[in-house]
Amino acid sequence: MDSAIRIRDLEKEYGEVRALKGVDLDVPKGSFFGLLGPNGAGKTTFINILVGLVKKSGGTAEVFGADVEDDYREARDRIGLAPQEFNVDRFFPIREVLEHKAGYHGIPKSEARDRADEVLKRVGIYDKRDTRFDWLSGGMKRRFVLARALITEPDLLILDEPTAGVDVQLRHDLWDLITELNESGTTILLTTHYIEEAERLCDEVAILDSGQIVEVASPEELMGRGPDKVTISLRNPPESAPHLSAGRDKIQDIELDGDELVVTAPEAGLLAPELVRELDRKGFEIVHFDISRTSLEEVFVEMTRTGETTGNESPDEDDRDDSDLAAIAGGDGA
Ligand SMILES: Nc1ncnc2c1ncn2[C@@H]1O[C@H](COP(=O)(O)OP(=O)(O)OP(=O)(O)O)[C@@H](O)[C@H]1O
């Protein structure tokens, strides 16, 4: 497989905290890949290692075959990062910020202006080109960090919580935009706490918990593993859930909630006709009927339930490289 990201035995320790504990991962070229995990799982650390903001403690990390430390420049030039936290030079008009960043990546001045205009149009804030970052609304700031990630026409776009705190309209705009980018060949690595976002967009997800990958699969595959629910509304509900012999071995739970009978079972859709026939035989009148699949969110919660992670919230100490956020603000990084 051709990998955009190839990770082997990746380790990161921050003093006593083992943020990554021997991670192996391949992100295929051209894929839309989700990195999911509860707070403190190690997602940002993982991303920061890829973009050179954090030094790994062990293992290897390559982006399109370039080692993120030994071939830093090459790796970095192929990545566009839209980070979770805004780290933008606040005092310059945003078009200039983009031009500086283009310059940092070796794009000639004559071309930098055109590119800046193009990405500002693409994310829908061209009319704000002469405004400084501070004066943009929260949603415009999100659009801007995406524009900044796109200025180098990256082959790998890393989006760390791209839709955190944005309204529904913008979320949909951003989804459309990143889907288009993916369709035109850009590999996308997305971290998000909106599991629905990953379910909708990603063709594969990795679940990271307490610094370890616990699963890599497509959202479809993961959802297929959870049980489904059949909800049957009855006109004449009984006092308590009736005993059902249909699919007895498969049914995990039967619950009566008002006039709704909820049956939980794997592949419950296959069981549904039998359930309906049996209820009919027993004299129940069925008014409404619905089958719902387990959501990715339910599977995710189940998989990470025991992972109390490291118990850390925000880090106190900062263990970043010298070329960290300050450098990014000046043109490097993101
Ligand atoms: N600079 C740092 N110094 C010390 N510990 C850190 C540092 N950065 C992260 N950690 C710790 O490493 C672990 C992983 O943190 P990380 O920020 O990578 O997780 P995350 O999955 O991105 O979390 P979230 O979803 O909350 O953003 C946590 O225990 C965190 O406290």
Residue 45 near ligand 1, beta carbon < 6 Å = yes
- The residue contributing the CA closest to ligand 1 atom 5 is 315
Query: Complex ipTM above 0.95?
Result: yes
Residue 312 near ligand 1, beta carbon < 6 Å = yes
Residue 330 near ligand 1, beta carbon < 6 Å = no
CB-based contact 188:159 (threshold 8 Å): yes
Please tell me whether residues 169 and 21 are part of one structural domain. yes
CB-based contact 122:147 (threshold 8 Å): yes
Is 298 a domain residue?
A: no
Residue 318 near ligand 1, beta carbon < 6 Å = yes
Is 97 a domain residue?
A: yes
Please tell me whether residues 25 and 67 are part of one structural domain. yes
Please tell me whether residues 125 and 234 are part of one structural domain. no
Please tell me whether residues 264 and 182 are part of one structural domain. no
Q: What domain range includes position 268?
A: 227-293
Please tell me whether residues 205 and 79 are part of one structural domain. yes
Is 13 a domain residue?
A: yes
Q: What is the pTM of this model?
A: 0.81
Is 159 a domain residue?
A: yes
Please tell me whether residues 84 and 160 are part of one structural domain. yes
- pLDDT at 306 (0 to 100): 61
Please tell me whether residues 146 and 217 are part of one structural domain. yes
> Residue 45 Cα, ligand 1 centroid: separation in angstroms?
6
From 44, 194, 213, give the residue whose CB has the most ligand 1 atoms within 8 Å, as the site to mutate: 44
Please tell me whether residues 133 and 280 are part of one structural domain. no
Confidence of residue 252 (pLDDT cuts 50, 70, 90): confident
Is 195 a domain residue?
A: yes
Residue 39 near ligand 1, beta carbon < 6 Å = yes
Residue 107 near ligand 1, beta carbon < 6 Å = no
* Number of domains observed in the structure of the chain: 2
- Return the CATH number at 167: 3.40.50.300
Residue 211 near ligand 1, beta carbon < 6 Å = no
- pLDDT at 229 (0 to 100): 87
Please tell me whether residues 111 and 18 are part of one structural domain. yes
Is 25 a domain residue?
A: yes
Please tell me whether residues 64 and 27 are part of one structural domain. yes
Segment 212-226, tens digit of pLDDT: 999 999 998 888 777
Is 23 a domain residue?
A: yes
- Mean residue pLDDT across the chain: 87
Please tell me whether residues 252 and 131 are part of one structural domain. no
For the CA of 12, the closest atom of ligand 1 is: 12
Mean pLDDT of the region 5-19: 97
> Residue 129 Cα, ligand 1 centroid: separation in angstroms?
34
The better pLDDT of the pair 327, 114 is held by 114
From 13, 39, 45, give the residue whose CB has the most ligand 1 atoms within 8 Å, as the site to mutate: 45
Which one of 102-116, 224-238, 240-254 scores highest in mean pLDDT?
102-116
> How deeply is 222 buried, as exposed, middle or buried, from its count of CB atoms within 10 A (0-12, 13-18, 19+)?
buried
Is 67 a domain residue?
A: yes
- pLDDT at 316 (0 to 100): 41
Please tell me whether residues 267 and 124 are part of one structural domain. no
The Cα angle at residue 24 between residues 17 and 72, in degrees rounded to 5: 80
- Return the CATH number at 250: 3.30.70
CB-based contact 151:115 (threshold 8 Å): yes
